[in-house]
Amino acid sequence: MSDALTRNDPVPATPFGGVGVTISLAAPMKRYSLRARTAQALETLLNVKVPKTISVTVAGIACLGPDEWLLRTEAVTAMPTSAGLPVAITEISDRSICLILEGPRAAEILMTGCPLDLDNFAIGRGTRTIYETVEIIIIRDAEDRFQVEVWRSFAAWLWTAFTTAASH
């Protein structure tokens, strides 16, 4: 009926290149908050394996809490209905954006405001934490690559914080 609408993101589409680090906006993806009484209930419903240990990420599913998982996928898949089951699936695709920090200074830039010891943060780990006063989820893809999930309204601030730190 009309032209496709354009998405509007809170940070520039052009990556920021600093010394030793590049900061960029990840492509849009589907995100679901998966909640369940047990991991088994979720596995049965979704027919996938989910990690049982908090902060472990397997195949795009991060275990954030004892009954909470975050599913992130670039493939558009219909989610099954959880009606009647002790399971809750909520779409949160647009709640956050994902910033990617890549380069030898990636951990250093994150640690300018994140109190976790990222020297001892294994590849593949993902956890909810905080950067100064802003809640984030960090996922380490590689020694020098982190994904940082941040709610949209805080994203512009976090972008400024990261790019300022990266330019020093």
Partner 1 sequence: MILIHCPYCDEKRPEIEFANAGQAHVARPLDPASQSDEEWETYLFIRANPRGRHHERWRHVHGCGRFFNAVRDTVTDKFETTYKAGEPRK
Partner 2 sequence: MSGYRLETGGRIDRGQSVQLTFDGKTYHGFAGDTLASALLANGVMLFGRSFKYHRPRGVMAAGSEEPNALVSVNRGPGRFTPNLRATNVEIHSGLNAVSQNRWPSLKTDFGAINDRLGMFLPAGFYNKTFMWPRSGWDRLYEPVIRKMAGLGDAPTQEDPDIYSATYAHCDVLIIGAGPAGIDAALEAMGSNKRIILIDEQDEVGGGALADHTLWPWLERSLKALADAPNVTILKRTTAFGYYHDNFIGAVERLTDHLPDGGDAPREKLWRIRAGEVVLAQGAIERPLVFDGNDTPGVMLSSAAKVFANRYGVAVGVSVALMAAHDSGWHDVFALAKAGVGIAAIIDVRDTVDAALLDEAQRLGINVHLDHSVIGVSGRHSVKAIQITGGKTIACDALLMAGGWTPSVHLWSHSKGSLKWRDDLGAYVPDQPNENVRCVGACSGDWDFGNGVVVDVLPTPKDQSRIKAFVDFQNDVTAKDIKLAVREGFRSIEHIKRYTTNGMATDQGKTSNLNGLQIASAALAKPVPDIGLTSFRPPYTPQTFGALAGHAKGVLFQPTRTTNIDGWADENGAVFELVAQWRRARYFPQNSEDMHAAVNRECVAVRTSVGIFDASTLGKIEVVGPDSAEFLNRMYTNPWKALEPGRCRYGLLLKEDGFITDDGVSARLAPDRFHLTTTTGGAARVLNMMEDYLQTEWPDLNVWLTSTTEQYAVIALQGPNARKVLEPLVEGIDLSAEAFPHMAIREGTICGIATRLFRVSFTGELGFEINVPTAYGRAVWERLMAQGAQYDITPYGTEAMHVLRAEKGFIIVGQDTDGTVTPYDAGLDWAVGKKKPDFVGKRSLARPDIIASGRKQLVGLLTDDPNVVLEEGAQIVADPHQPIPMTMIGHVTSSYWSETLGRSIALALVAGGQSMMGDTLHIPMPGKTHTAKVSDMVFYDPDGARLNV
Q: Which residues bind partner 1 (CB under 8 A)?
A: 54-55, 64-66, 68, 115-116, 127-130, 135
Q: For residues 102 and 22, is the Cβ–Cβ distance under 8 A?
A: yes
**In whole angstroms, how close is the CB of 124 to partner 2 at the nearest point?**
20
Question: Is position 163 an interface residue for partner 2 (rule: CB under 8 A)?
Answer: no
151: three-class secondary structure by DSSP: strand
128 binds, among partner 1, partner 2, none (CB under 5 to 8 A by kind): partner 1
Question: Using the rule CB under 8 A, is 112 a contact of partner 2?
Answer: yes
Binding mask 1-40 for partner 2 (x = CB under 8 A): xx-xxxxxxx-----------------x----x-x-x---
Helices (H), the chain: 39-46, 106-110, 152-166
- Scanning 15-23, 45-53, 81-89, 98-106 for contacts with partner 2 by CB under 8 A, the matching segment is 81-89
130 and 116 in contact (C-beta within 8 Å)?
no
Please state the closest distance from residue 4 (CB atom) to partner 1, in A.
Answer: 36
CA distances from 4 to 74, 78, 97, 114, 147 (A): 19, 21, 21, 38, 29
**Please, are residues 57 and 51 in contact by the beta-carbon 8 Å criterion?**
yes
Total site size for partner 2, rule CB under 8 A: 54
Inter-residue contact 130 to 84 (CB < 8 Å) = no
- In whole angstroms, give the CA distance from residue 166 to residue 150: 18
Nearer to partner 2, 35 or 145 (CB): 35
Could you list the residues that contact partner 2 (CB under 8 A)?
1-2, 4-10, 28, 33, 35, 37, 67, 82-96, 108, 111-117, 119-120, 132-134, 151-154, 156-158, 160-161, 164-165, 168
